[in-house]
Structure 1
Amino acid sequence: MRLISLILLFLLSGTVSAQKVEWYTTTQTSPWVKQKVKPERTTTGAEIVLDPAQRLQLITGIGGCFNEMGWDALNALSAEDREAVLQAIFGKDGACFDYCRLPMGANDFAMSFYSSADVAGDFNLVNFNIDRDRYILIPYIKAARQINPDLRIWASPWCPPPWMKTNNHYASAVRPSGEKDVNGLLPHEAIAEFSTGFRMEEGYLKTYADYFARFIKAYEAEGLPLECIHVQNEPCSNQVFPSCKWRTEDLTFFLGHYLGPTFERENIKTDIYFGTINTSNPDYVRTALRDEQAAKYIKGVGFQWDGKKAIPTIHREYPNLNLMQTETECGNGANSWDYAEYTWNLMKHYFSNGINSYHYWNMILPTPGISPWGWNQNSMVSIDKKQQTVKYNPEFYLMKHLGHFVQTGAYRLETPSDKNMLAFVNPDGTITAIVANVTDNEETMCVKVREQRVTLTLPPHSFHTVSWKL
């Protein structure tokens, strides 16, 4: 009788184990397919062991950016179809985005140039307002929060109000001779390569710090508190779209002597990040972190594009510093599987080098996803405004493999550096492994969590998430 009882207990425990492991697969032809899982109780070969006690960095959120062109595309759909897209990105059965970016004024996927203080010489910001946002970005954000009330937001400017710049223009660069003019900037008005585009004068510096404070308070009044702000989007580049280049010494000076003290005086709790940094040179960040006056206000650093080359050094030198990946590289609008695999490599690089949050760029774009200045870019979701149809691109599913299973408050777990995988332990104890096969051949991977061993057969060019509910 005792032997029979033990056999029954073993069989029942195997059944329970099978119910506790989920496995979803995405290939080029079959996205987001739930697979059958058969946990194994014995070890038959080499395996990867995930230890939930060996915790690395804290994960503070997964998301994308709210852009005007995305909301415009969404509004071409019926109310039912619009809701379905938002559910796919923010809903509990979708990608579960919970930490998203907001532009302060125009960015490169705004419908046109604008800021919240466009009256030149308005040093007291008498004419400051977020009226345009109330018609476009705020409805977009609130529609997302209807689905996920826990959604948090952060912000960064692409450009100060243009009258605060040395060239009095939103853009900082012109297209090469012979290419189409996209911004009306004359060649002699372009910002010089190694200079700061902001007017480094007392009145402008003080007013710009006040501008940040006003923006944060205006959004709070809308019921949308900002968790953090990054001082400048891509401060190392002059662009044909809204932009402002800063020498690191000047950006550090503004942050330490104007922005930080203004936040203190106004009792603003929004964190200040030194971002979004787009240079491979770690000295750009070191300058700010070594400046005593600025460093006391800096709660973290954000990186994108070429910043990915600097982040390993900064993480090694400042292991306790909060780090954000602020913008996924945007591609050329093909929305191809190859580019999704490239994005996976970026994702693995950033997480492996200590970032705490990961942010896609354009969540939604029309088809084609061409900016007002002429760059056709990738998006998670493409909407044909004329046909009123929706397409979920490969990068949508990659982001869903991440966001659906990795919760805010998770910790990254150690994984072998030679394996195409990331792993996390969630606040509820769930263990998640995200795995990619980017080769032309089928691969096999054995993963063990405590006493549950799962053998994964990975088709060529596929993404996978396996989740253990312990």
Structure 2
Amino acid sequence: MIRRLAGVLLAGALASTAFGATSTAGGHDISVWLTDVPNQLYLSKQAGLDWRNGKAPAAQTIHIDERRTYQSMIGFGASFTDSSAWLVGTRLDKAQRDKVMRELFSPRDGIGLSFVRQPMGASDFAVNGNYSYDDMPAGQTDPTLAHFSIDYDKPYIIPLLKQAERLNPKLTLMASPWSPPGWMKTTDSMIGGNLKPEAQQPLADYFSKFLKAYKREGVPVDFISVNNEPLYQPPGYPGLGMSAEQANVFIRDYLGPTLKKRGQLSSTKLLGYDHNWDVVTYPETLYADPQTSPYVYGTAWHCYGGDVRAQSMSHNSYPNKPAYHTECSGGEWEGDAAAGFRGGIGLVVNSTRDWAKGVVRWNMALDQNNGPTNGGCPTCRGIVTVAPDASGKWGYTKTVDYYALGHASKFVRVGAKRIASNTLGAENVQDVAFVNPDGSKVLIAYNAGTTARSFNVQFGSRWFTASLPAGGAATYTWSGSQRGAADASAIGSVDLFFRNADGSRPVVSYDTGLLAFNDEIRVGSSWVGSTLPGGASFGPSVPAVPLSRDGWTVSASASAADEPAARVLDGDQATRWSTGRGMEPGDWFQVDLGATKTVSEFTIDATGSGGDFPRGYELFASDDGVTWGQPIARGGGRTKLSVQFPAVSARYLRIVNQGSAGSWWSIHELSASAPGTGTAVASGSSRGLQERSATLSDGTKLLAIYNAGKKPATFDRQLGTSTWTYRLPASAVAIFTERATS
């Protein structure tokens, strides 16, 4: 969601740039384009660099391997919100409008943007308030959509989209509603509310009519999503609350069948979720349902919550479902122009490193006051700023987001594939590399640190040295194939390939950085980790037995005055405990079981409080509530977190949050269970399973199991003296890791 954060207005008037050709020039092997905001350099052509033969020094070296390829790219771009389109389409005269469109979309004369995401109706950036394509007076409905019309979009939105496609014929268009018509919702308004059950078929028909109407206007739509940010109901602009379960029913029973019956799914693909990185289970709920999954092509992600590595986690869980990054705004909260550029280029680099096939910023254009707004973000920044000068004549200037996108969109062609490379760290030089359809290579690197950095780039048996100022970024391009093998251990990741019945080869790519997102339990002298795709389950073959909560007491490191810890034991899912503030590392919640018990499962449930779950956790057990020792389990957070572990004897259990978030940490209900007794539950069929194994650079053992079948499969795993059973949905991957305890 767009946060209302204060900051300093970024300067819109940036230095102009004369783009050169993307081939090398001046007799040098590698061409270089640099952005250094403090020194007013924006995508500025620099002196070329030359290869050296041999092996680069080990330190500060980026290794690239073009023989390891990943997702193909559809491009980079932004959204022609109503506000953006109105500014470009009606405030600029024809000469200025044509010029800015060329600079945005032309691969030759501009930065070649090729991915646009369009609101279907009003968003938080609309000139004339809220509108849909089928508005009705309060209290009236239109279930047959007799009043459906896209006339609002015809004066300036559709003409700009058609012009963009003429300038870049490889343009990809995505459409997303912020809200359906108000009469379809429980609020009878585009503000707030949920979809009425009886409106599910009309909403499916609404999508179908939109696709048909846009196609009739000569604007085919390549992707749609059900709605923007379904886990957030904004109080001041259009929105729609829709849980993963509700979305699953709507897609499975209404939207998917409707579009399929009308032949529209062959040309328009459906992306699930369209929200933040912090609730990975949402899109995976759609993938886990074998009836819904065929309708959902991939996932649309936003940047306003969670970690970008969620894209890799979800890819590895469901490797047949591609990722697209479909919204992330820059704005005043970032600080000055240099900080804004860091945010933009960091998104370009890291979202594509984590499997995004396309990257979209938010508004294509905003005015000098960050508007016009429609009840939403007053501090957001557009790709360009459209504003009048002192004489009243309207013109435009490029913002830092233009150049951040341009470092990729100008050089990474549609159809390019990401290729393997290592990155030098969070406060160091970060990078991503591609091979274009013509075989040319592109490396985008940016210095995330606060001091200038020199680094090397190893490409087969050749290398070069480069440097970047603090916060600066450069794009390096060259031709020619890789000579010699790459150092796989230096790149640091491993690729595990599987095979589908149609001959395609889904790939899981794993590195040590993903270990932090695994659930891990302490087994003997090892940490044993596992992933849990949405729809999967993993636990003791003999089901655990819930412990009675009689005599339990609870406490917490912090509590809201009106939401005390004791509410987690009141049996009412509508009440909760919360921190009363944004969660911080070290926040803890503790239960005293009243006496020493044998425990093998601990569950905290935040269902009903959206993203209010711990951002990583460690679980401790204690006999006296004073001495805690080492954690018995740890991992990433989720809305309903059920931590299972080899049985321990303890009176106290404490779960400790490991990350920061603006969301409060909330728990609605809490429970614990003891090991079960009796006969193990039959594990069922393991048909269709494929296994691949590898060892990471730090010695971690890795095992990935892929369900290539069309039905869920089960298999058993031995953990210490216990047998655990894993249920894996079709087309999903379970990953197991094992490493020594520290």
TM-score (norm 2): 0.56
Q: Tell me which amino acid in the other structure corresponds to 2:285.
A: T
Q: Shift of the alpha carbon at 1:170?
A: 1.1
Q: Is the 8 A contact 2:344 2:405 kept in 1?
A: no
Once structures 1 and 2 are overlaid, which stretch shifts more, 375-384 or 299-308?
Answer: 299-308
Q: Shift of the alpha carbon at 1:145?
A: 2.1
Q: Tell me, in whole angstroms, the C-alpha distance in 1 between the residues paired with 2:258 and 2:464.
A: 54
2:216 paired with 1:230: no
2:43 pairs, out of 15, 19, 32, with 32
| 2:210 alignment partner in structure 1 | 215
2:479 paired with 1:462: no
Once structures 1 and 2 are overlaid, which stretch shifts more, 436-445 or 88-97?
Answer: 436-445
Matches within 5 A, 1:363-442: 363-370=364-371, 371-373=373-375, 375-385=378-388, 386-418=392-424, 419-442=429-452
Inter-CA distance 208–308: structure 2 relative to 1 (3 Å threshold) = farther
Q: Tell me, in whole angstroms, the C-alpha distance in 1 between the residues paired with 2:161 and 2:25.
A: 40
Inter-CA distance 224–40: structure 2 relative to 1 (3 Å threshold) = same
In structure 1, the residue corresponding to 2:202 is in which secondary structure? helix
Q: Is the 8 A contact 1:335 1:395 kept in 2?
A: no
| 1:126 alignment partner in structure 2 | 146
Once structures 1 and 2 are overlaid, which stretch shifts more, 354-363 or 344-353?
Answer: 344-353
| 1:292 alignment partner in structure 2 | 290
| 2:685 alignment partner in structure 1 | none
Q: Is the 8 A contact 1:277 1:307 kept in 2?
A: no
Once structures 1 and 2 are overlaid, which stretch shifts more, 16-25 or 289-298?
Answer: 16-25
Q: Tell me, in whole angstroms, the C-alpha distance in 2 between the residues paired with 1:155 and 1:16.
A: 40
Q: Tell me which amino acid in the other structure corresponds to 2:72.
A: L
1:443 pairs, out of 445, 453, 459, with 453
Q: Tell me which amino acid in the other structure corresponds to 2:41.
A: S
| 1:277 alignment partner in structure 2 | 275
Q: Shift of the alpha carbon at 1:20?
A: 4.9
Q: Tell me which amino acid in the other structure corresponds to 1:265.
A: K
Q: Is the 8 A contact 1:159 1:243 kept in 2?
A: yes
Q: Shift of the alpha carbon at 1:384?
A: 1.3
Q: Shift of the alpha carbon at 1:460?
A: 2.5
2:244 paired with 1:248: yes
Q: Tell me, in whole angstroms, the C-alpha distance in 1 between the residues paired with 2:462 and 2:119.
A: 45
| 1:337 alignment partner in structure 2 | 338
Q: Shift of the alpha carbon at 1:143?
A: 2.2
Q: Shift of the alpha carbon at 1:372?
A: 2.5
Q: Tell me which amino acid in the other structure corresponds to 1:325.
A: H
| 1:313 alignment partner in structure 2 | 313
Q: Tell me, in whole angstroms, the C-alpha distance in 1 between the residues paired with 2:232 and 2:339.
A: 27
1:267 pairs, out of 245, 263, 266, with 263
Greater share of residues in strand: 2
Inter-CA distance 369–19: structure 2 relative to 1 (3 Å threshold) = same
Note the alpha carbon deviations across 1:351-381, whole angstroms, 9 max, x for none.
Answer: 2221211111112111111312252211111
| 2:323 alignment partner in structure 1 | 323
Inter-CA distance 448–255: structure 2 relative to 1 (3 Å threshold) = same
Note the alpha carbon deviations across 1:62-98, whole angstroms, 9 max, x for none.
Answer: 2211112112222322322222211111012322111
1:89 pairs, out of 61, 80, 104, with 104
Gaps of 5+ in 1: 1-14, 173-190, 192-196
Q: Tell me, in whole angstroms, the C-alpha distance in 2 between the residues paired with 1:307 and 1:459.
A: 28
Q: Tell me which amino acid in the other structure corresponds to 1:252.
A: N
Q: Tell me, in whole angstroms, the C-alpha distance in 2 between the residues paired with 1:461 and 1:442.
A: 8
In structure 2, the residue corresponding to 1:153 is in which secondary structure? strand
Q: Tell me, in whole angstroms, the C-alpha distance in 2 between the residues paired with 1:41 and 1:292.
A: 53
Matches within 5 A, 1:347-366: 347-366=348-367
Q: Tell me which amino acid in the other structure corresponds to 1:64.
A: A
| 1:161 alignment partner in structure 2 | 181
Percent sequence identity over matched residues?
29
Q: Is the 8 A contact 1:335 1:393 kept in 2?
A: no
The root-mean-square deviation of aligned C-alpha atoms, in Å, is 2.0
**Larger gyration radius, structure 1 or structure 2:** 2
Q: Tell me which amino acid in the other structure corresponds to 2:305.
A: D
Q: Tell me, in whole angstroms, the C-alpha distance in 1 between the residues paired with 2:397 and 2:190.
A: 33
Note the alpha carbon deviations across 1:183-236, whole angstroms, 9 max, x for none.
Answer: xxxxxxxx4xxxxx11122xx111110000000000110111111111111000
| 2:133 alignment partner in structure 1 | 116
Q: Is the 8 A contact 2:52 2:464 kept in 1?
A: no
Inter-CA distance 279–166: structure 2 relative to 1 (3 Å threshold) = farther
Q: Is the 8 A contact 2:345 2:473 kept in 1?
A: no
Note the alpha carbon deviations across 1:299-337, whole angstroms, 9 max, x for none.
Answer: 111111326554333122112211110101332376722
2:195 paired with 1:198: yes
Note the alpha carbon deviations across 1:111-159, whole angstroms, 9 max, x for none.
Answer: 1211111134111111111001111210121222232233221111110
Inter-CA distance 335–216: structure 2 relative to 1 (3 Å threshold) = farther
In structure 2, the residue corresponding to 1:95 is in which secondary structure? coil
- Structure scoring higher RCO (CA < 8 A, sep ≥ 6) equals 1
Q: Tell me, in whole angstroms, the C-alpha distance in 2 between the residues paired with 1:439 and 1:389.
A: 35
Q: Tell me, in whole angstroms, the C-alpha distance in 2 between the residues paired with 1:67 and 1:464.
A: 30
In structure 2, the residue corresponding to 1:36 is in which secondary structure? strand
Note the alpha carbon deviations across 1:272-304, whole angstroms, 9 max, x for none.
Answer: 111312361222222211112211211111111
Q: Is the 8 A contact 2:65 2:421 kept in 1?
A: no
Q: Tell me, in whole angstroms, the C-alpha distance in 1 between the residues paired with 2:328 and 2:165.
A: 22
Q: Give 4+ residue runs of structure 1 displaced > 6 Å after superposition.
A: none
2:80 pairs, out of 66, 81, 86, with 66
Q: Shift of the alpha carbon at 1:387?
A: 4.7
In structure 2, the residue corresponding to 1:258 is in which secondary structure? helix
| 1:151 alignment partner in structure 2 | 171
Q: Tell me which amino acid in the other structure corresponds to 1:199.
A: K
Q: Tell me which amino acid in the other structure corresponds to 2:36.
A: T
1:45 pairs, out of 54, 57, 63, with 57
| 1:55 alignment partner in structure 2 | 69
Q: Tell me, in whole angstroms, the C-alpha distance in 1 between the residues paired with 2:25 and 2:57.
A: 24
Note the alpha carbon deviations across 1:27-77, whole angstroms, 9 max, x for none.
Answer: 111112111113133346344332211112222222211112112222322
Q: Tell me, in whole angstroms, the C-alpha distance in 2 between the residues paired with 1:346 and 1:32.
A: 17
